Amino acid sequence: MLLARLSQEEVTGRLVGRAHWHPLEVLFWVAAFATIWLFPSKHLILTEIAWLALFALSLDLILGYAGIVSLGHAAFFGFGAYTAALLAKHEIINEPVIALVVAGLAASALGFVTSFLVLRGTDLTRIMVTLGVAFVLREIANQNGWLTGGADGLQGVTMKPILGQFRFDMFGHNGYVYCLVVLFVLFLLARRIVNSPFGLSLQSIRNNPLRASAIGINVNARLIAIYTIAAGYAGIAGALLAQTQAFASLAYFDFERSADLLLVLVIGGTGYLYGGIIGAVVFKFMHDYLAVLTPQYWPFWIGLLLVVLVMVGRERITGWTAPFRRMADRLDWRRLRPRGETTEGR
Amino acid sequence: MLTILFDGIAYGMLLFVLACGLAVTLGLMNFVNLAHGAFAMAGGYVTVVMVNRWGVPFFAALPLAFLFSAVIGLLFERTLYVHVYRKPHLDQVLFTIGLVFMSVAAVDFVMGSQQVFVQLPSWLEGQFTVFGVGIGRYRLLIIVICGVLTVGLQLVLSRTRFGSRLRAAVDDARVARGLGINVNRVFALTFAFGSGLAGLGGALGAEILGLDPIFPLKFMIYFLIVVTVGGTSSITGPFLASLLLGIGDVAGKYYVPTFGSFVIYTIMIVVLIWRPQGLFARPVGR
């Protein structure tokens, strides 16, 4: 209907327009990089935010864009973490960046293999299968203590300097810059992916798989592709954690990690790339605050938050970003040109 | 060998009583309830408090545990769950995980994080031998109670008016509504009853499964396996799935301890891929 009245060029123009950078986005990343100099004493928690944001971004790719509910995303996170830690421990790949890429590729491979399991069935089946995959990996890591250190975790990992230049110092300065740069680069890639025709086709699959296949989209192939990519992202997030901590443990595979991740993403809002990052910031600071307040019982407050989020309605709570987006629209001179009635994101 | 089979059957029966409420509610409302284990835990802890602290006899405590969990279940269903049925599965998952986290932390706060046991009457402890098979008295009791419950449930479902309403609602809720069946009421009652059964299972299982605050998380996957493998369209499916799971788990841990629970998860994934509707489910026209 709407599309029929648009010429090919107009469609392309609108798609390109969608992908333009908002002034607020630029501001966001300038602020993010400014934290390197502004808050040097907070670099340890900021590092955690950076890898958590990347992890949440990875879940957003499959949940927010492709509509796959996963309760076992920690499987890829842990797999990437163990890969990176083992590569460093046995001095197979000494350079952290190359090890990071390898860990990401390994997690992608795992994602590709397991993606066939999530294609079939309903949401419930997917939840079960993703849960099961994470449990199986955790068991494998647990049973092969000679390789992974079993329940004690993988100790004795020493990280070599990044690019042979920058040592992982104990205050986490270099580690933070490293994580932030990786997050930014992968964010750019994800931004490119979701704004491409491929990304749009994913959103159409999320909204209605049947109709998507009716207009000629190969649903399964696209889901496999995005699942593989997201698994690689999660693996890199895990590898970042393993590299900055010089440690890997079974807890990386835990169900709680996958569940917390869902909360992180939901706090920030699903289906737009900044959701995971904003959620990670809010979640980590909240966690930090609550953990000091009630060290043992903070899961209670996390649980309460989840219940309240659902009861009140996720849209209404994450709706607090809407005024900012409207403001951004007004600031944005490029928006003066005619646009379709859809707005970016949800 | 036969002792393991016996233990496995007891374990499986217990799982069935714990999980059958979940199977029915899932089939009825297509509602993903990950917090089912929390109701079981509630029943278990109430029994522990009653028996160990207040000196209530064990057999009097069991029905009370059932009632307690059922009332809590009904309360939660009427106040919170009703608002979530129509929401997407993601919301249901988030909501019930939230409940699980809250229950874990709350029980940890009130009861402490260590594992607790119910003081059983002395005549239930130990085991006796029949034809060379060692039979634990307590496990025998579990099999008897759960067996009676299963038969009772099957009779209620197949013979009573409520049972036929329930089956109609599970098969097709819209048509059932059209026929004047108050599906919401049927569902609330079923939910309460299922929670009560879970509570009873938690009370009975405290001795065998171990009761601590992370119980709902530990057994969540087991309940879900029972439901997804067994299917949600009848209770025979979950029953057979529970038995298989119980026997498989006990035998697996005994014969190949190095694999641990690995086998169970792998089997679950294979079954889900092979038959997403569950092993014993009949095809549902939806």
Report the alpha-carbon distance of residue B194 to residue B73 in Å, rounded: 8
Q: Are B248 and B263 in contact (CB under 8 A)?
A: yes
Length of chain A: 346
Name the more confident of A270 and B277. A270
Report the alpha-carbon distance of residue A204 to residue A258 in Å, rounded: 25
pLDDT of A325 above 70: no
pLDDT of A59 above 90: yes
Surface of B (107-136) touching A: CB under 8 A = 108-109, 113
Average pLDDT of span B8-27: 83
Q: Which of B41, B39, B33 is nearest to B81 (CA)?
A: B33
- Please indicate if any CB of chain B lies within 8 Å of the CB of A346: no
pLDDT of A235 above 50: yes
With bands split at pLDDT 50, 70 and 90, how would you rate the model's confidence at A314? low
With bands split at pLDDT 50, 70 and 90, how would you rate the model's confidence at A216? confident
Q: Which of A122, A313, A318 is nearest to B84 (CA)?
A: A313
The total domain count for chain B is 1
Half-sphere exposure of A187 (CA within 13 A, CB side): 24
- The parent domain of residue B7 ranges over 2-215
Is residue B175 in some structural domain?
yes
pLDDT of B170 above 80: no
Q: pLDDT at position A316, please?
A: 62
Residue A70 identity: S
Report the residue from A132, A136, A304 with minimal CB separation from B98: A304
pLDDT of A67 above 80: yes
- Give every CB contact of residue A342 below 8 A, 6+ residues apart in sequence: none
Q: Are A181 and A100 in contact (CB under 8 A)?
A: no
Torsion angles phi and psi, residue A45, rounded to 5 = -70, -30
Q: Where are the domains of chain A?
A: 3-254
- The token pair at A139 is 């068991």
Which residues of chain A make contact with B101, given a CB cutoff of 8 A? 259, 299-300, 302-303, 306
The radius of gyration computed from the CA coordinates of chain A, to the nearest angstrom, equals: 20
How far does CA A198 lie from the centroid of its chain? 18
- The token pair at A259 is 């569940």
Query: What is the per-residue pLDDT across B100-119, written as a single tens digit (0 to 9) for each?
Result: 988 888 888 888 777 777 77
- The token pair at A237 is 């997030």
Torsion angles phi and psi, residue A171, rounded to 5 = -90, -5
Average pLDDT of span B195-206: 87
Q: Are A278 and A268 in contact (CB under 8 A)?
A: yes
Report the residue from A123, A132, A297 with minimal CB separation from B268: A132
**A321 to each of A29, A67, A263, A268, how far by Cα in Å?**
17, 22, 17, 9
- Give every CB contact of residue A333 below 8 A, 6+ residues apart in sequence: none
Report the alpha-carbon distance of residue B199 to residue B161 in Å, rounded: 25
- Dihedral-angle region of residue A218 (phi above 0 means left; psi in -120 to 50 means alpha; beta otherwise): beta
Residue A19 identity: A
Average pLDDT, chain A: 82
Which residue of B lies nearest to A144 if distances are taken between CA atoms?
Answer: B258
Report the alpha-carbon distance of residue B240 to residue B238 in Å, rounded: 6
DSSP B242-260: HHHHHHHHHHHHHH-TTTT
Query: What is the per-residue pLDDT across A236-274, written as a single tens digit (0 to 9) for each?
Result: 999 999 988 888 888 888 888 888 898 888 888 888 888
Length of chain B: 286
Element (H, E) at B134: strand B133-136
Q: Are A107 and A235 in contact (CB under 8 A)?
A: yes
- The token pair at B139 is 């496990």
Matching residue, tokens 């327009």? A17
- Give every CB contact of residue B75 below 8 A, 6+ residues apart in sequence: none
Torsion angles phi and psi, residue B257, rounded to 5 = -60, -25
**Residue B246: beta bridge partners?**
none
Min CA distance, B95 vs chain A (Å)? 5
Report the alpha-carbon distance of residue B256 to residue A120 in Å, rounded: 31
Question: Cβ separation of A307 and B99 shorter than 8 Å?
Answer: yes
**A8 to each of A3, A198, A334, how far by Cα in Å?**
9, 17, 20
Report the residue from B97, B260, B265 with minimal CB separation from A259: B97
- Please indicate if any CB of chain B lies within 8 Å of the CB of A29: no
Is residue B22 in some structural domain?
yes
- Please indicate if any CB of chain B lies within 8 Å of the CB of A300: yes
Report the residue from A136, A270, A310 with minimal CB separation from B87: A310
Name the more confident of A244 and A294. A244
pLDDT of A58 above 90: yes
Q: Where are the alpha helices (DSSP H) in A151-294?
A: 173-195, 197-207, 209-214, 219-245, 255-268, 274-293
Query: What is the per-residue pLDDT across A138-179, written as a single tens digit (0 to 9) for each?
Result: 888 888 878 887 777 887 777 778 777 777 777 778 889 999
Average pLDDT, chain B: 81
Min CA distance, B258 vs chain A (Å)? 7
Q: Which of B240, B237, B236, B229 is nearest to B272 (CA)?
A: B229
Report the alpha-carbon distance of residue B117 to residue B212 in Å, rounded: 9
Which of A124, A142, A260 is the best substitution to test chain B (most B C-beta atoms within 10 A)?
A: A124
Helix (H, G, I), strand (E, B) or coil at A205: helix
pLDDT of A63 above 80: yes
Which residue of B lies nearest to A139 if distances are taken between CA atoms?
Answer: B262
pLDDT of A333 above 80: no
Name the more confident of A111 and B268. A111
Query: What is the per-residue pLDDT across B112-156, written as a single tens digit (0 to 9) for each?
Result: 777 777 777 777 777 777 776 667 788 888 888 888 888 888 888
Express as a percent the part of chain A with pLDDT over 90: 23
Mode of pairing for the β-strands spanning B127-130 and B133-136: antiparallel
Q: pLDDT at position A4, please?
A: 58
A144: number of Cβ within 10 Å: 12
